[in-house]
Structure 1
Amino acid sequence: MTKAFFAAICMALIPAMTLAQSQVSFGGGGQDTSAPVEVTADSLSVNQSDGTALYTGNVVIVQGDMRLAAPRVLVIYSEERSEITRMEATGGVILVRGEEAAEGERADYNIDDGQIVMSGNVLVTQGDSAMTSERMVVNLEDGTAQMSGRVKTVLQQGSQDGGQ
C-alpha cells in the first residue's frame, strides 16, 4: 500500500470519525414525550410504597414512533403517582425510532428531560451503516445522539453490488 493511498483513506475517514465522536442523528425530528406510554409484558409487580412498577418478560414499550423492548423494565412514577418520570430497562435493550435502531445492555429514559441513556456495548444501525460505543445519550427533542467510550463506525459507501 502506498503512502498516498493510505493518506487518501485517512482523509476520507476523518469526517466519519469526527461525526461518530460527536452528535449523530437518531430517529429524525422531535419526539412527543407527553404522548401516552403503552407497556406490554408477561408480568407486572406494583410497589405502592415507593411508586414503582416492575414489568418483566418480553416487555415492549411504545410512545409515539419510538419502541423499546427489554426483558425487565422498572417504571418510576412521580411523587403524586400521576405520571411516569423515568424508566430503567435492563437485560438487553432494543430501541427503535424511525429508521434507526440501537441495542445495549441498559437504557434509562428520563421522560421529563427527553433523554435516553443507553450503556453497555451499544450498537446503532442506520441503514447499512453501524456504530458501536460504550454509551449513547439520545436527545428525543431534536433527534440527535451523543456517543462516547471507544466509538467505532462502519460506513457503507454507495451500492454493495458495484452499481449493478
Structure 2
Amino acid sequence: MARIRILGVLLAGGFAAFTAPAHAQISSEGGPIYINSDRTESLERERKVLLIGNVDIQQGDARLRADKVTMVFASKEGDATSTVGGSFGQIESMTADGDVFYVTPELKAKGDRGVYVASSDTITMTGKVALMRGRDVAEGKVLKLEITNRRTTLDGGDGRTRMMIDPDSETGSNG
C-alpha cells in the first residue's frame, strides 16, 4: 500500500474536495492547493481543517499524500469569528501522519510524519525517512526540506544516515 506513485486519475466517490487559495505551502511555485480525502472536518473556532483517510494534496508540481492531515490557519486581522463557508486565509501549519509521501519533479520523500511550518517555509519528515533523487537514495530519521531556499538536511537521529549514490545515473531518469 505504501507506494511512491503519482496517480494520473484520482479515485472517485466519497471524497471531499476543495481548493484553498494560498501562497507557497508544499510547492515553491505557490498557487491554489487541491485537496482530496475520505473525510473533511472543519473546526472553525480552532481555525483547523482535519483531512482523514487517503489524503492527497497537490500544489503546483508538488504532491503530499498521507493517512491524515491537520491544517491550521493563521488568524486574519480584525476577524474575531469565522462563518460557515468563509475563507480561513493562509495556512500556518500542516501536520501529516501515517504513510507520508512528498513528491516533486526533483525528489521523492517518505516518512511516518511530516510537518509544514509556513513561517520558516519548511517541511520536516520524521520516523523511518527515505529521500530519493533519481537513482540516489538516502535514509535517516529526520529530513528537513527548506522549500524557498531549496536546502535539504538529513539527520540520523540516534543512528547514522545511509546513502547510495549512483554517479552514472541521470537525475530524473526512470530506468
Quote how far apart the aligned CAs of 1:32 are: 3.1
* Deviation (angstroms), 1:157: 3.7
Please, which of 143, 156, 162 is the counterpart of residue 166 of structure 2? Answer: 156
* C-alpha displacement of 1:86: 0.8
Show CA shifts across 1:88-129 (max 9, x none): 000110000113100000000112321100111110111111
What is the TM-score with the length of structure 2 in the denominator?
Answer: 0.69
What is the aligned counterpart of 1:91 among 98, 102, 109?
A: 98
Q: Distance in 2 between matches of 1:82 and 1:100?
A: 29
Q: Hey, which bits of structure 1, 4+ residues long, moved more than 6 A?
A: none
Aligned counterpart, 1:66 = 62
Paired residue for 2:11? none
Q: Which residue of 1 aligns with 2:29?
A: 32
2 CA distance for matches of 1:66 and 1:111?
16
What SS is found at the alignment partner of 2:120? coil
Shift of 1:63: 1.5
Q: What runs of 5+ residues in structure 2 fail to find an aligned partner?
A: 1-26, 77-87, 170-175
Distance 1:63 1:158 in 2: 32
Match of 1:9 in 2: none
- 147, 151, 163: which one aligns with 2:154: 147
Structure with greater Cα Rg: 1
| Percent identity of equivalent pairs | 26
TM-fit CA distance, 1:140: 0.6
**Structure number with higher relative contact order (C-alpha < 8 Å, ≥ 6 residues apart):** 1
Letter in 2 for 1:108: V
Name the CA distance, whole Å, in 2 between partners of 1:38 and 1:84.
Answer: 13
Provide TM-score, normalisation by structure 1: 0.73
Aligned twin of 1:11:
none
Q: Which residue of 95, 107, 114 maps to 1:107?
A: 114
Compare 149-158 and 49-58 and name the one that shifted more.
149-158
Does 1:54 pair with 2:50? yes
Q: CA deviation at 1:158?
A: 2.3
Question: Number of residue pairs matched?
Answer: 129
Q: Residue 21 of structure 1 aligns with which residue?
A: none
RMSD: 1.5
Q: Give the Cα–Cα distance (whole angstroms) in 2 for the partners of residues 86 and 63 of structure 1.
A: 15
Give the Cα separation in 1 of the matches to 2:92 and 2:32.
13
* Higher helix proportion: 1
SS in 2 for 1:75: strand
Residue in 1 that maps onto 2:12:
none
**Whole-angstrom CA distance in 1 between matches of 2:56 and 2:118:** 16
